[in-house]
Amino acid sequence: MKEFSKAQVFTAIKTPFSRDGAIDLAAFDRLVQRQIEAGIDGLIIGGTTGEGHLLNWDEHVMLIGHTVHRFGDRLLVVGNTGSNNTKEASQATQHGFAIGMDAALLINPYYGKTSPAGMVAHFKKLLELGPAIVYNVPGRTGQDISPSIIAQLQGHPNLLGLKECAGTERISGYEAQGIPCWSGNDDEAHKSRHEGASHGVISVTSNLLPKAMKTLMAGKNETLNGRLQPLFAWLFSEPNPIALNTALAMLGWVQPVFRLPYVPMSKEMREKGAAILNGLSDLGELTPAKVLEDSDFLVL
135 is catalytic: yes
Q: What does the H/E/C string look like for 149-171?
A: HHHHHCCCCCEEEEEECCCHHHH
Annotated binding site for pyruvate: 49, 202
Task: Say whether the peptide bond before residue 256 is cis (omega within 30 degrees of 0).
Answer: no
- Residue 17 DSSP one-character state: B
Annotated binding site: 49, 202
Half-sphere exposure at residue 199, Cβ-oriented, CA atoms within 13 angstroms:
26
Distance, CA of 189 to chain centre: 13
Q: How far apart are CA 69 and CA 289, in angstroms?
A: 32
Separation of first and last alpha carbons in the chain:
40
The DSSP result for 67-117, as a single string, is HHHHHTTTSEEEEE---SSHHHHHHHHHHHHHTT-SEEEEEPP-SS---HH
Angle between helices 222-235 and 210-218 (to 10 degrees): 130
Q: Which of 261, 271, 260 is nearest to 294 (CA)?
A: 271
Q: How far apart are CA 235 and CA 252, in angstroms?
A: 17
Given 3-state DSSP classes, what are the helix, strand and coil percentages for the chain, each rounded to the nearest 5? 50, 15, 40
Helix (H/G/I), strand (E/B), else coil: 249: helix
Could you say which of 14, 163, 191, 214 is catalytic? 163
Could you say which of 135, 174, 191, 214 is catalytic? 135
Catalytic sites, residue numbers: 135, 163
